[in-house]
Amino acid sequence: MTGQGTILVAARAAALLILLVVTPMASAELIVDFESGNPFSGGTLTELYSTSATHSLFVTAGEGVTLAIPTEYLGHSVKVTMMVYDVGRWIDRTVDGHPSSVYGPRWGVSQDNGESGESAGATIIEKTFLGSSQGYGFSHEARFTSSWWSPQYYGGPRQCTLSDNGGTNDGSGWVMGTEGTGQWTEWTFEVTAAGAATFYRDGGGAQSLDIGAAATEVWVYGGRNHATAGLPLADVYIDDVTIVPEPATMGLLGLGLLGLVARRRK
């Protein structure tokens, strides 16, 4: 066989191998709809506010739950989508003595299982520069259950009808407001193998962060306890979590080898 023929055979074999690897992974996805159980590390299955079937997952104040990215997806770019039900709680800042910061529910992705690595996600938060009635915040921090000192404004309005009764101070401390008319919203997180994260709500309003490495888990946090504010923003529901690997670089390599084969044929 000539040198050109050897290169041609090798290129065809490599391209075929890459296509065989890419195609199954590109079509594979992990779907969690909570109808056959709860694969997250915690939370409570409930029949309230389910998107389409019977169950959703309820995560309450002080509770952080995680779902590991499947082992075969690790090191690859992934796309994570989840439906989040915003119950519509907020804090009334016109009340005297309102707290300077209260952390409500958060949801997102992290690397290194949130231990020493970074997390990225969206949140309902009350801070002096970001009111809980305005919209959502976003940030990336060392742990998703810790205080978020530097969140940014993601956008608004809140995807719900806020309650008539925001979190208020009854004289002895802050009490939780009632739920408003909630709404399901789809949040999407796309993370490259290098850790560049882009996320958006219902297909728009993209924001970007860098978590430093490929994602290893999906997480949800119900809200942070607050010494003086109680739990006025706590509680969140999630449903229909989907994780899809996106081996774009492998796909491009496969296309490149196919191009080499085409050139050799000429």
Residue 132 to residue 88: CA distance in whole angstroms:
9
Give the lowest-confidence range in 13-22, 30-39, 199-208.
13-22
Looking only at the bridges linking them, the beta strands covering 196-201 and 183-191 are antiparallel
Compare 241 and 254 and report the one with higher pLDDT: 241
- Mean pLDDT over residues 116-137, rounded? 86
pLDDT of res. 260: 44
Its sign, for the CA torsion 24, 206, 117, 59, is negative
- Omega before residue 39 within 30° of 0, cis: no
pLDDT of res. 59: 95
pLDDT of res. 177: 74
Compare 23 and 36 and report the one with higher pLDDT: 36
pLDDT grade, residue 82 (50/70/90)?
A: very high
- Mean pLDDT over residues 250-255, rounded? 45
Compare 24 and 170 and report the one with higher pLDDT: 170
Tens of pLDDT, residues 224-240: 766 666 677 889 999 99
Tens of pLDDT, residues 28-39: 789 999 999 999
All structural domains of the chain, each given as residue ranges with its CATH number in brackets, are: 30-247 (2.60.120)
pTM of the predicted model over 0.85: no
pLDDT of res. 226: 66
Mean pLDDT (the chain, rounded)? 79
pLDDT of res. 145: 72
